[in-house]
Structure 1
Amino acid sequence: MFFHRFLFLFFILTITLIQSKKLSSGPEINVTKHLSFPNFNPNQDITLLGSSSISTQSFCIQIPENNLQFSAGRALYSSPIRLLDPNTQTPASFTSTFSFQIQSAPGKSDPVSGGLSFIIVPDEFTVGRPGPWLGMLNDACEDENKVVAVEFDTLMNPQFGDPNDNHVGINLGSIVSETVINVSSFGIRLNDGNVHRAWINYDGYKKFLEIYLGPDGITIPARSVYSGNLDLSPYLNEYMFIGFSGSTGNNHTQIHSICSWNFTSVSRGFLRVPSTESCESKIAVDNDENAPVPSKTPSSFYIFVAVVVLVLLIMINLYLNSKRKGKDYSDENVVVSKENQRPCPPNRARKFSLAEISSATRGFGELQILGNDSRSVTYKGTFLSGCNVVVKQFSSSCVSDKRRMIKEVKAVAKIRHPNLVAIRGWCFDHQESIVVYDFVPNGSLDKWLFGFGVLPWTRRLKVVKDVAEALSYLHLKELAHKNVKPSSVFLDISFRALLGDYGFVMSAIESSRFESLISQKVDVFEFGILVLEVVSGRGRRSNPGELDLLDLAWALHESDEKGKLVDRRMGPVVNPDQAIRVLEVGLMCTLNDNKGRPNMEEVVEYLNFERPMPELPASRPVSLFPYSSTTGLCSGYSCSPFK
């Protein structure tokens, strides 16, 4: 190991020596780029993507180009701009000022809603998604960590944290704005059809951003709509593309016009200057026989010596390795197994080597940990391809039957459903038991229910339906999830719910009992508890002296006051009939299996109003769980084996 490190360091030093002979760094300089577009025409250096065009009548960029619904487009300056010094990680300073107009499409009386954004993106090929994404992001194609945008949004999307339909947002690698400004308080209405002007000033050295907004034709306002410290360096590459994006939603038509644009950036860099060894010293003058011969040993000689020594070291290393015994190179020590070298079909789960998993999680580093419990530790990982994944490493003490677990993981990995988190693969090498999942950007449901923000009712209803669809599909495939709870439900960038984090790990006793007695029936029971948590916005376990959530729900049902369980933080926008029906579905799922508990296919039909709901018992059944406490299984939901 020491020899390998020495060889690696020697190689790096040799390359550094070679490079140092080629160029030297000079003084720090400023690299300035200036763009000026008093108007636009098709012959300018503007790349149009998606639904965007340059009007030959108004000489403005139009997004969308026609009277289109649910469309998106981008208009970018054709060449990349240097916005980050990679040596110092200092972002460039820049000023972007542009005039824009947001108005209804000609001849249309539809509500004016949509949005426009000034964007800084990593490529000139991607078109962002329409609707509430404003053409900024494309969760299927784009490196979302490298996107900066200032949005001018005229549609309220509560799921993205929008305060109203007239706001400016600052987006850093996410569709959810880092900061949102209600511009109504500044007397500005973005979609009033007037021409507005925006000034976006960023000081890269101080990492300070200012945004001004006012009518076109005036000087910069005295008061900014936003000013504050903001570090853009994590969201920038050295070279980025700048421009605009916009979109419209369903049943809404709106045209965003950019009529003029000035942009100036100043980035820092080091001037590359010639080395001290000038070319003149290498020129031999033919008619000057007495010209002095340089006494300095040529740099090429040093390079030649370094390369020869490096080759000798490599040959010695290969010779020593060939003398080692074959046992030191067993199949278990090969970094990439033969199975992993075989090409895999797209989206098909496969076996990973421990080296691949370790590299993706930076050696299972603490900074990569997403969560942990007594049975496992969960990490965020990134493979060399740039793909983000979730790596769940199980404790060896919790895996009593590894062969059975491998079989179960492979069975679940074969299925694909829009509401199930896909399993990328597994690793059962070197006493490790690891399952690799797709990474879902918005995190788990429990953080949204019990942490930051308030999920609106429409989002919660969709979560319940999505999870029900996922469980119904699993049960149809004769599989069970075995770990249904808010922390096992994940939200993607569109807030679609995906069920993941399967309950694979069980002791031998629990395993046999689970297979013979519980399996899919407990999934239904746990789904009922999840429904109560989603509607009420509170956890299943209570504080000392208070009723558990299930006890409280049945008590309110008995007194015909189920409406009191609905989360009041959602405000008056809740549909009370929907909320009560969903609560009743949740309670029905907690009935005894032989006393009315439905299967998940029936639950889906209840939630979609495709099947009439049977009446719930007037009072809570004596035993909600059909198994005796003498068997070691719980008689209520609070001690389910997968909590």
Structure 2
Amino acid sequence: MDALQRHSSTTEANPPLISFPPFPANSCDPGGLLRCMQNSSVRNGYIDLLPDKGNGTDPNLLLNNIGRVLYHQQAITWPASFDTNFTVLISKRANASSFGDGMAFVMTAEMRQSPREASAASWACSTTLAVEIDTYPNEYETQEYHVGVDIASIVSNVTAPLSSVSVDLNKEIPVTYRVNYDGWTKNLEVSAGYAGEGPPKSLLNFCIVIAKINPIYVGFTAGSGPSSNYSENIRILSWNFSFTPLPDWSLEEPGDGREEGGYAPFSQSSFLLLWVFPRLCY
């Protein structure tokens, strides 16, 4: 059976494993479907990934916040393809002149909090894989608002400006993001677009192979920095996630990659390995 026949013989994508058109008020309660950690919460039908107001007297309560929300159980087993979309509203906090620091969709091997000492931009150090929405102009990356793929590093492996799909975060309106991974072609695609204005547009493709079978957790993380001038609210309005299991031999395609860079671990954990190819996916 050739690659095309193998691909066409697989089943259609599973129904959404995770589906939150709105988020029920009890989502974070004991026994709920979400684990809301640190400064995150659910209210009014959305995830408040960072607190949007303090106690009215101490503005420092809104500085150096970290929030993480993970689905309550392991959501995927490798090898697989997966598809997720989520709608986010990012807005500047009162008296802030700009955004800071952003958020990420994360896939992690552990159900645990973000490190308390971690800066808002370093969520990728404690996750297996992160697709970031970066709203702060770090010196080591593009100065534009962008999405990026981070593998155990604060420096993205690949980035793309949101302006390339005509998304301007300064409008402070909901944006829908889609992250799709094809376990056959090994292509990770990120798309974005204003909510309610048609399907998100593709702005980033990255060829990766997740090469060891392991169930992992999925969710979101965010952080705000030490300055009230760069500060934002992050509300996740909806979220869907589904995956399709693939046979072990799907890992053979598009090739083992040893002729073009070999392989390297992308986490200090021994659970997962990643091959990064310096070429386009097939």
TM-score, normalized by the shorter chain, greater than 0.5 = yes
Structure 1 residue identity aligned to 2:22: N
Q: Secondary structure at the match of 2:171?
A: coil
**2:209 corresponds to which residue?**
231
Q: Distance in 1 between matches of 2:13 and 2:214?
A: 13
Q: Distance in 1 between matches of 2:244 and 2:120?
A: 34
Matched, 1:102 2:90: yes
| Equivalent runs, 1:404-553 vs 2, <5 Å | none
**1:185 corresponds to which residue?**
164
**1:448 corresponds to which residue?**
none
Post-superposition CA distance 1:227-283 (Å, at most 9, x none): 24222336xx6110001111111113211110001111111359xxxxxxxxxxxxx
Structure 2 residue identity aligned to 1:130: S
1:157 to 138, 148, 170: 138
Matched, 1:246 2:227: no
1:263 to 235, 241, 247: 241
Q: Distance in 2 between matches of 1:201 and 1:31?
A: 12
| Equivalent runs, 1:99-138 vs 2, <5 Å | 99-105=87-93, 107-128=94-115, 129-133=118-122, 135-138=123-126
Q: Distance in 1 between matches of 2:109 and 2:206?
A: 24
Contact 1:136 1:246 in 2 (8 A): no
**2:155 corresponds to which residue?**
176
**2:195 corresponds to which residue?**
216
Structure 1 residue identity aligned to 2:132: E
Q: Distance in 1 between matches of 2:170 and 2:100?
A: 8
User: Where do 5+ consecutive residues of structure 2 fail to align?
Assistant: 1-9, 28-32, 54-61, 249-261, 263-267, 271-282
Return the structure number with greater relative CO, CA threshold 8 A, min gap 6: 2
Post-superposition CA distance 1:66-122 (Å, at most 9, x none): 4411111111110101231xxxxx3x10110110011012x3334222101111011
Matched, 1:39 2:39: no
Q: Distance in 1 between matches of 2:194 and 2:103?
A: 16
Q: Distance in 1 between matches of 2:67 and 2:96?
A: 22
Post-superposition CA distance 1:563-584 (Å, at most 9, x none): xxxxxxxxxxxxxxxxxxxxxx
> CA 1:123–1:174 in structure 2 vs 1: closer, same or farther (change >3 Å)?
same
Post-superposition CA distance 1:525-582 (Å, at most 9, x none): xxxxxxxxxxxxxxxxxxxxxxxxxxxxxxxxxxxxxxxxxxxxxxxxxxxxxxxxxx
**2:46 corresponds to which residue?**
60
> CA 1:40–1:136 in structure 2 vs 1: closer, same or farther (change >3 Å)?
farther
**1:71 corresponds to which residue?**
65
Deviation, 1:52, is 0.5
Deviation, 1:212, is 1.1
CA-based RMSD: 2.6
Q: Distance in 2 between matches of 1:101 and 1:29?
A: 34
Q: Distance in 1 between matches of 2:189 and 2:162?
A: 14
User: Where do 5+ consecutive residues of structure 1 fail to align?
Assistant: 1-27, 85-89, 139-143, 271-366, 368-381, 387-643
Moved over 6 A (4+): 28-31
Structure 1 residue identity aligned to 2:69: A
Contact 2:81 2:246 in 1 (8 A): no
Structure with greater strand percent: 2
Structure 2 residue identity aligned to 1:203: D
Post-superposition CA distance 1:152-177 (Å, at most 9, x none): 0010112xx31114011011222211
The alignment covers a number of residue pairs equal to 225
1:51 to 39, 56, 64: 39
Of 189-198 and 238-247, more deviation after overlay is shown by 189-198
Give the TM-score of the pair, scaled to structure 1. 0.33
| Equivalent runs, 1:353-368 vs 2, <5 Å | none
Structure with greater helix percent: 1
Post-superposition CA distance 1:117-140 (Å, at most 9, x none): 11101111131423222x4434xx
Q: Distance in 1 between matches of 2:245 and 2:154?
A: 27
Give the TM-score of the pair, scaled to structure 2. 0.72
Rg larger in 1 or in 2? 1
Deviation, 1:40, is 0.7
Contact 1:71 1:248 in 2 (8 A): yes
% identity of equivalent residues: 25
Structure 2 residue identity aligned to 1:192: K
Post-superposition CA distance 1:385-430 (Å, at most 9, x none): 97xxxxxxxxxxxxxxxxxxxxxxxxxxxxxxxxxxxxxxxxxxxx
